[in-house]
Amino acid sequence: MNTSNSSGPRHRVLLALIVGVALFAQGRLLGQPRFVKEMTITGTPKGTSGFYTNAFTKITTHNGCVYVAYLDQERFICIQKMDREGGTTSNRIFGPVMNDRSHMAPVVGVDGNGYVHVTGGMHYGNAFRENDPETGKLKLRPYKGLWNYFISDKPEDIGNFTAQTPGMPGYPPGWLTSYPELYKDNKGHLYLTSRQGSYKPPFIGGGIARYDHEVKGWTALGGELTHPSRRRRKLTYALWFAPSKDEPTCYQKWNTWIQFDADNTLHLAWKVNALGPGRNWNTGTHIMYARRKEGGPQWETLDNQPVREELLTIHNATVVETDLKTPELCLNGMAVGTDGNPILSITYTKNNNPPNRDRGGRPVKWNGASWERVPFPEGFSPRAYYRVMSDNRGGIFAMGSPVTTCYYSRDNGATWETIAIPYTREGASLADLDFQHFRETGNPRISVFFEKAGVIEVWTIQLKP
């Protein structure tokens, strides 16, 4: 009896601790996230157009280490790494690049072997500055359409990088490249998207290339086209829109987004400007979608129909949204639920929503039969240009601008919770989402740019233990 009586309080204390831990964990999962500011980086100073390039800062995570690509105060492409213990190192890779706010942002990816890939500082027809080896002074060098592409000499080591040049297996396919982005599938292979080709004569296609880290080489997806005036120039495009005969120039940006689901199916979304002479960077007439199963020989539409052609166009892929009368469609991001259905974030760039329609201004989800509006909580901003990502376990994260408020769904976008991030600086704008970290942990990680301070911060939102 005495033993039983003396153990009762201890059991109650133990039970209280277990219940307390369970309630704490439940609170963490049900709307009480923990916010961790991981990194703070000072980039290009305010007062130059290159300053705003850091608003497009890119991040990725590999093996517990965080990598950030950005421009420093002299517009050199740089990389900073935070290791698993929280220590940081940085390195200058290439530069200086042009004083161009919209086209110089570097991107970073880490392949399945741990090698770090960095590219950026490219835009069609422009020049960038480099040191003259004879005088030591900066001079303009015409852009010949070659890639600025660098791969680290050692895995998970940013101390030294080797520039990839034509003929090297690490040199990506393509010519006259702009807007590169790097994505990684579930097996460690990198996918590089970009706009390629000439503005005049019109020959602008969307490039997608796959880097196989096991053989350490690239493969371009798509079909080969011959340049209309440079007959020896043949490019492999995945995305294509044929300009009209009366069109001396053309413009496509493509706004390509890729996500990989739990089966490693490649989900692809992009924008098309199908307007002839009225086409410019701000126009958009079609939002498109296709997917490709791992090892599959061809693309598929949303209703599982095979795409027989190698080039994806508005005629053979799935049209998500189209508007020829109000050509202002913009694609801001894509996620994929565990049901394999995509969620696309679409807005109208000139805030001119079509009458009697509500798709513009918020993400839409495919329910298996039609597109339906994502039910964000009250208070969302319809013009926030939300970017979205998925963790392949039902988690969907959405964030736009202003970036103080973001949204999280644990049930494939059926219901959403509001999350407010406690920044200590003013003027925050979203720079990038860390797709890799979210897929691996279910915890969102973001990079944020603060205009007033000229500072980049990396934050982790811990929703799960």
Do residue 153 and residue 24 come from a single domain? no
Whether pLDDT at 249 is above 50: yes
> Which band of pLDDT confidence, cut at 50, 70 and 90, is reported for residue 11?
low
Q: Of 74-88, 92-106, 351-365, where does mean pLDDT reach its minimum?
A: 351-365
Do residue 20 and residue 62 come from a single domain? no
Do residue 64 and residue 13 come from a single domain? no
Do residue 119 and residue 5 come from a single domain? no
The total of structural domains in the chain comes to 2
Q: With respect to residue 349, please indicate whether it lies within any of the assigned structural domains.
A: no
Backbone phi and psi for residue 111, each to the nearest 5 degrees, phi listed first: -80, 180
Do residue 25 and residue 122 come from a single domain? no
* Predicted local confidence at residue 354, as pLDDT: 52
b/e sequence 430-459, b meaning 16+ C-beta within 10 Å: bbbbbbbbbbbbbbbbbbbbbbeebbbbbb
pLDDT in tens, 155-199: 999 999 999 999 999 999 998 889 999 999 999 999 999 999 887
Q: With respect to residue 342, please indicate whether it lies within any of the assigned structural domains.
A: no
Whether pLDDT at 397 is above 90: yes
- In whole angstroms, what is the distance from residue 342 CA to residue 371 CA? 10
Are 321 and 313 within 8 A, CB to CB?
A: no
Whether pLDDT at 207 is above 50: yes
Are 108 and 58 within 8 A, CB to CB?
A: yes
Do residue 58 and residue 16 come from a single domain? no
pTM over 0.85: yes
Expressed as residue numbers, the domain containing 271 is 35-332+431-462
Do residue 57 and residue 24 come from a single domain? no
Q: With respect to residue 383, please indicate whether it lies within any of the assigned structural domains.
A: no
Whether pLDDT at 202 is above 60: yes
Q: Of 272-281, 360-369, 371-380, where does mean pLDDT reach its minimum?
A: 272-281
Do residue 90 and residue 142 come from a single domain? yes
Across the range 332-342, mean pLDDT stands at 93
Do residue 179 and residue 150 come from a single domain? yes
Do residue 126 and residue 9 come from a single domain? no
Do residue 94 and residue 207 come from a single domain? yes
> Which band of pLDDT confidence, cut at 50, 70 and 90, is reported for residue 323?
confident
pLDDT in tens, 298-313: 999 999 999 999 999 9
Whether pLDDT at 26 is above 50: no
* HEC string for 63-75: CCEEEEEEECCCC
Q: Of 30-44, 186-200, 251-265, where does mean pLDDT reach its minimum?
A: 30-44
Across the range 227-231, mean pLDDT stands at 81
> Which band of pLDDT confidence, cut at 50, 70 and 90, is reported for residue 22?
very low
Total Cβ atoms within 10 A of residue 300: 17
Q: With respect to residue 398, please indicate whether it lies within any of the assigned structural domains.
A: no
* CATH number of 285's domain: 2.120.10
Whether pLDDT at 215 is above 50: yes
Whether pLDDT at 360 is above 60: no
> Which band of pLDDT confidence, cut at 50, 70 and 90, is reported for residue 283?
confident
HSE toward the beta carbon, residue 368, CA cutoff 13 A:
3
- Measured CA to CA in angstroms, residue 350 lies from 83, 332, 354, 380, 401 at distances of 42, 14, 11, 18, 16
